[in-house]
Structure 1
Amino acid sequence: MQKIFAGRAIIDCQEQASVTLTVESGLITGISESSRPGDADVVLEDGILIPGLIDLQVNGYQGVNFSHADENEWRRAAHCLPETGVTAFAAAFVTASIQDLAESLRHCNAAMNTPPRGGQARLLGAHLEGPFLSPAHPGAHDVTLFCDPEPARIRPLLDAALAGTLAIITLAPERTFALEAIKQFVSAGTLVCLGHTDATADQTMAAIDAGARCVTHLYNAQRPFHHRDPGIIGQSLTDPRISFSLVLDDHHLSHQAAAMAFGLAADRLVLVTDAVAAAGMPPGQYQLGGRTIHTAPNRPPTSADGAFAGSTLRLDHALANAVRLGLPLPEAVAAATTRPAELLARHDLGRIEVGARADLVWLDQHLTTNATWVGGELVFSKSLIRKDGP
């Protein structure tokens, strides 16, 4: 058993002062208000304690490209992510052949079932971004591999996704067979997101009716908003049934677009990074799926034709950017913790409450990660954590 005292914490989407958490066997077993640290084992007088961050779209990190990662690379990326405050993540795979995506799902399943060696973020499953996307908005994807989600193409993916490996799929709802595919994926326990799409508002509404519950990186790689043709953007910002993710890296969308999303639907916002292998690495050439991408200082990664190819964003920095752009801190925290957990029906994650897993992040005054715990284990710390503070 250990006790963690925090001078400030976000609990149940509200900021609270002076709380002590009791952690036993990887779970939070007690939360009490206390003005003094008392017999706490860890004392966090400054900064703020929040639930562990959850990223639903990570293509890679620290040089690792999940599409072609071996066992050691899976471990390395999962070991490095807690330095960004991420305690749980979905590994994203961009468009490839059905056979290659099925193989990626098998590798992801193996990584999920490999016993951790300590200090790793939780792998929640795979996020397939493609190949059922629109050629009108391909982004950095290989448009020659786009196809319709016919039953014969879905079955190999579901067969390869053992034990819930396929956590998320992003598809374009206007493709032939898309509505039937959405229902089939939802029945299999997969979160269906809409993205890389030219869908109208009506097509978006039909996909939501069929069970889609999120839009992938809203505004990017999708039909633009028009006052007489609101498309997927207008429908998702005004439809309370669907959430949406944003990549807040100061490149993927303007401050005004972010403010519009905050003002219309802050309670449905989910922060993601769409991070690629270049994240946490110096500028240069890296791989996204099977394609070469390029990074330069103060620019997002790009493909050979100049299209944005994911990001090098950290999720704690995305949270800080959201606050800088006007989102209240408790809302920003929820967008990176509670809401992604709820989308995956992981009610044991993304919250500080009795019975939840003790995945925690201590942020400094700039909202950058100072320390991270996964299941009560300290897996990252900028400085020594001890009873009298850092």
Structure 2
Amino acid sequence: MTEKRSLLIRNASIVTDQGVSQEGELLVEDGKISWLAPKGGAAERGVPAGVEELDAEGGWILPGFIDVHIHGGFGHDFMDGTVEAIEGIARYHASHGTTGLLATTVTQSREAISQVLEAASTYRAGAMPYAQLLGVHLEGPFISPKFPGAQNPDFIVEPRQEWLEAWVRDYPGLIKLLTLAPERNGALELIEWLAGQGIIAAAGHTDASFDQITEAAGRGLSHAVHTFNAMRGLHHREPGTLGAVLTDNRIHAEVIADGHHVHPAGIRLLAAAKAPDRLLIITDAMSAAGLGDGEYDLGGLGVVVKDGVARLKEGGALAGSTLTMIDAFRYVLEHTDLSVAEVSRLASGNPAKRLGIDGHTGSLASGKDADFVWTSPQLDIRGVWVQGRSVLS
């Protein structure tokens, strides 16, 4: 990690909301983007004395990736409940282009989840030198026993609004997203309360019918986690959870784009239904990300990683992923008709809008935070900056 410096980037394909600026130029000052311009812009606008210059060699400058569903990486899990684990995860995923993320929990005890919230609150009060911890995503414990996936069934409980009220009181503004099964007793009331608090209510690990999801969306449900996975599927006479997610424009959808969780045709279907504004790429990465094959733990459940695929030792269910955001980005680009600029929206702009932070990050524009990724023309990571600081040594 380096200090914030003035930086002029030349000869880049710069992705913005308006399209791609070929051979573009970009100036960073005081952690912000001062300006973006076509080739020759620096000569017109002038460059501060002593500015560092970088030739992007025709590569891409992309907005930093924002991952709203991630459990860990490089041997660390957010459920470790420590500042050290959070920094380890933030550092590893920053090296793969992630500049902001939500610490995602698993279905565990109230005490274990509270420990994560405490660690996250402490970490956010510090410098956050790598990927920014934007808040917490509570995945469970208010999910369906019929679709536990890799969640520990011993800790699945019906919705407890009093738990959320206490957490919001103790950690105001920290919880950004909650995954639950909308069909469970008390879920609709909790969804309505969450919406009133500005917390995204998400359907996941759910056996909800089409009508139940539709009713929940009317109460404030606006998100679906790892779409296709751990939810009631599509049938032509009962479209189920999936059918509601695909057809209800009030619901935004995540997808794990690793080629294991969802068939490429499923991703194309989801993109047709939800892109450009309502689709987000996520990793759902676990602690094994970056470490290779072996045996690991996820929320107290044993996991075996073989050939990069994580599965529970008991039952063989997929258990998160070993994915990084740049790999997900490349996968979607390869298996859909979306352009680099369109995929960038799924990885950066849409997550930023979901979290209400698009005023300062998630896209490249004058005055926004200098959160960006430099890649080769083939999308290999060459550099990553978070608020103007290089996070690659």
Same fold? TM cut 0.5: yes
SS in 2 for 1:76: helix
In the other structure, the counterpart of 1:151 is 161
Shift of 1:18: 2.3
Among 79, 82, 105, the alignment partner of 1:67 is 79
Aligned to 1:363: 375
How far apart in 2 are the matches of 1:379 and 1:153? 37
* SS of structure 2 residue aligned to 1:300: strand
1:272 aligns with 2:277: no
> Do the aligned residues in 2 keep the contact of 1:67 with 1:289 (CA within 8 Å)?
yes
Give the length in aligned residue pairs: 378
Shift, 1:87, TM fit: 0.5
Q: How does 1:113-152 map to 2 (within 5 A)?
A: 113-116=125-128, 118=129, 120-152=130-162
Q: CA deviation at 1:365?
A: 2.7
Q: Distance in 2 between matches of 1:45 and 1:57?
A: 33
Q: Which residue does the alignment assign to 1:18? A: 23
Do the aligned partners of 1:27 and 1:358 also contact (CA within 8 Å) in 2?
yes
Alignment partner, residue 286 of structure 1: 296
- Aligned match of 1:172: 181
Q: State which of 231, 247, 253 in structure 2 corresponds to 1:244.
A: 253
What is the match of residue 335 of structure 2?
325
- Determine the structure 2 residue equivalent to 1:385: none
Residue ranges of structure 2 left out of the alignment (5+ in a row): 1-5
Q: Deviations over 1:47-75 (max 9, x none)?
A: 21110000011101100011014322322
Deviations 1:288-347 (A, max 9, x none): 122221111142343422111100001101010001012222111100000001000002
Structure 1 CA distance, aligned partners of 2:312 and 2:161?
33
Residue identity in the other structure for 1:74 = I
Q: Is the 1:37–1:43 Cα contact (8 Å) retained in structure 2? A: no
Residues 256-295 of structure 1 deviation map (CA, whole Å, 9 limit, x = unaligned): 1111112222221100000000000021122212222111
* 8 A contact 2:70–2:286 mirrored in 1: yes
Does 1:199 find its partner at 2:208? yes
- Cα distance in structure 1, aligned partners of 2:381 and 2:18: 19
Q: Which letter does structure 1 place at the counterpart of 2:10?
A: F
Q: Aligned AA for 2:321?
A: S
Is 1:344 the counterpart of 2:355 in the alignment? yes
Letter in 2 for 1:10: V
* Secondary structure of the corresponding residue to residue 310 of structure 2: coil
CA distance in structure 2 between the partners assigned to 1:253 and 1:29 by the alignment = 40
Q: Distance in 2 between matches of 1:146 and 1:132?
A: 6
Between the aligned partners of 1:310 and 1:112, the Cα distance in structure 2 is: 25
Instruction: Tell me, yes or no, if structure 1 residue 213 matches structure 2 residue 222.
Output: yes
Task: Tell me how far 1:36 sits from its aligned partner.
Answer: 7.5
Please report how far the alpha carbon of residue 94 of structure 1 lies from its aligned counterpart in structure 2 after TM superposition: 0.4
How far apart, in 2, do the equivalents of 1:37 and 1:155 lie? 52
- For 1:36 and 1:185, locate their aligned partners in 2 and report how far apart those are by CA, in whole Å: 46
Contact 2:25 2:37 in 1 (8 A): yes
Question: Residues of 2 paired with 1:163 and 1:28: CA distance?
Answer: 30
Q: In the alignment, what sits opposite 2:123?
A: 111
Letter in 2 for 1:18: E
Q: 1:20 to 1:185 in 2, by over 3 A?
A: same
Query: Deviation digits for residues 212-260 of structure 1, max 9, x if unmatched?
Result: 2210000000001001111121111111221100001110011111111
Matched, 1:76 2:81: no
Letter in 1 for 2:184: R
Q: Which moved more, 1:299-308 or 1:310-319?
A: 299-308
Question: Which residue does the alignment assign to 2:323?
Answer: 313
Q: Which residue pairs with 1:34 in the alignment?
A: 39
Q: 1:69 to 1:281 in 2, by over 3 A?
A: farther
State the match for 1:388 in structure 2: none
Q: TM-score normalised to the size of structure 1?
A: 0.92
What letter is aligned with 1:319?
F
Amino acid across the alignment from 2:324: R
Structure 1 residues 203 and 44: alpha-carbon distance in aligned structure 2, compared to 1, 3 A threshold: same
- Aligned counterparts of 2:157 and 2:18: Cα–Cα separation in 1: 41
Letter in 2 for 1:353: A
- CA-to-aligned-CA distance 1:187-236 (integer Å, 9 cap, x gap): 22212111100111111111211112210000000001001111121111
Pair 1:44-2:56 in alignment: yes
Q: How far, CA to CA, are the matches of 1:276 and 1:88 in structure 2?
A: 16
Moved more, 251-260 or 214-223: 251-260
Which moved further from structure 2: 200-209 or 308-317? Answer: 200-209
Taking a change above 3 Å as real, the CA distance of residues 6 and 202 of structure 1, as seen in their structure-2 partners, is: farther
% identical aligned pairs: 31
Indicate if the aligned counterparts of 2:191 and 2:201 stay in contact, CA closer than 8 A.
Answer: yes
- For residues 74 and 294 of structure 1, the distance between their equivalents in structure 2, rounded to whole angstroms, comes to 23
Residue type of the partner of 1:311?
S
- 5+ long unaligned stretches in structure 1: 382-390
Indicate the larger mover: 355-364 or 290-299. Answer: 290-299
AA partner of residue 247 (structure 2): T
Determine if contact 1:67/1:93 at 8 Å carries over to the other structure: yes
Corresponding position of 2:268: 259
Tell me by how many angstroms 1:35 deviates: 4.5
> What TM-score do you get using the length of structure 2 for normalisation?
0.92
